[in-house]
Amino acid sequence: MRALRLPRWKTEPELVEVDEPTPGPGQVVVRIGAAGACHSDLHLMHDFEAGAVPWNPPFTLGHENAGWVHSLGDGVTGLEVGQAVAVYGPWGCGSCARCRVGADNYCEDLAAAPVPGGGGGLGMDGGMAGYELVPAARHVVPLPEGLDPVQAAPLTDAGLTPYHAIRRSWPKLPPSSTAVVIGVGGLGHVGVQILKATTAARVIAVDNRDEALLLAEECGADLTLRSDGSTAEEIRKATGGKGADVVLDFVGVDATLKIGVAAARTVGDLTIVGIGGGSLSVGFFSVPYEVSVQTTYWGSRPELIEVLDLGARGLVRPKTTTFGLDDAVRAYRMMQDGTLEGRAVVVP
């Protein structure tokens, strides 16, 4: 079968022929219907080097995957060949306290994981191929009726990651609250939809691109603002001087973190989702009182089931552009130069 593989750090991916996988005991092979292209893949291609993460190339790209069960290893129950499924992306040890409740994204025994801190498309072979080998059946989640693999694939990360970040702040998002989404890209525009679908908060979207702000309006944002030196002041003005109860930074560079902390309300949340490489100085007087600052990574398997339900009901639908496997490299180049709107989905 053909697969889009990253041969080495700091190289472009290559389309090559590889063997079709065969499942061992407890494993599942999924016939891929769609694989999302994620901005973090660009970091794998251009920024990472040996030692940056506890795994290395070569491997097949694609960590947002959905399709149909192709074959089952011995001992697998609860799944049927031909069943439509999504693949939960982070693959932990399966035995620690976090993994036992489905939070493999925060596995605490990484040495016992198939690949420490990674998964398919992140150290192990992912879904930009005809088939993907999933090392444990628990990572294969049946799709709800009404949701096909092309719609489901981006929800496994571009949906799950903002959902987890928002869900943890639900207690701070009652009807009188305000949430700010900084960066209306592949994850941010889904974040706007999730806020509108799961909370009654007023949603303010921030970006430096006109087309992104238009997309935010399409997704339900109540107010859109250009990202510049006056953004935090405009957010405070729109909230009667109080600031935003929850700020979600999907960019994560110095400039956006500065906006986030300046716009946050006391006792609010500032959640850094984007891995733009920025940093934030935290001291007694540098952030509003009792503002919680945190990073998040992906989400749990139970949360993925909830996200897929929102997708099946039409409440969360990432804006996507589909590409064939031959065109996957072009999708990444469009993502790199900022000409891709929403999310790229590769259909092998």
Q: What is the pLDDT of residues 127-185, one digit of tens each?
A: 999 999 999 999 999 999 999 999 999 999 999 999 999 999 999 999 999 999 999 99
**What is the share, in percent, of the chain residues with pLDDT greater than 70?**
100
321-344 burial string, b = 16+ CB within 10 Å, else e? eebebeebbebbebbeeeebbbbb
The predicted model scores a pTM of 0.96
Please identify, in words, the CATH class of the domain defined by 2-154+299-347.
alpha beta
Question: Which residues, in sequence order, are CB contacts of 171 under 8 Å at separation 6+?
Answer: none
Q: How far is CA 180 from the centre of its chain?
A: 18
Return residue ranges of the chain for CATH 3.40.50.720: 160-295
* Segment 313-323 mean pLDDT: 96
Residue limits of CATH 3.90.180.10 in the chain? 2-154+299-347
Q: What is the pLDDT of residue 122?
A: 96
pLDDT at 51: 85
- Tokens 């620690």: give the residue: 96
For residue 339, pLDDT over 90 is answered with no
215-244 mean pLDDT: 97
Angle among Cα 160, 87, 215 to the nearest 5 degrees reads 35
* pLDDT value, residue 338: 85
Q: What average pLDDT does range 96-124 have in this prediction?
A: 96
In angstroms, the Cα distances linking 301 to 32, 86, 101, 141, 164 are 19, 11, 8, 8, 10
Per the listing, tokens 């660009």 go with: 42
Residue range 160-295 in CATH 3.40.50.720: yes
Beta strands 343-347; 28-37: pairing state: antiparallel
Which residues contact residue 230 at a Cβ distance below 8 angstroms, ignoring those fewer than 6 apart? Answer: none
**pLDDT band, very low/low/confident/very high, at 49 (cuts 50, 70, 90):** confident
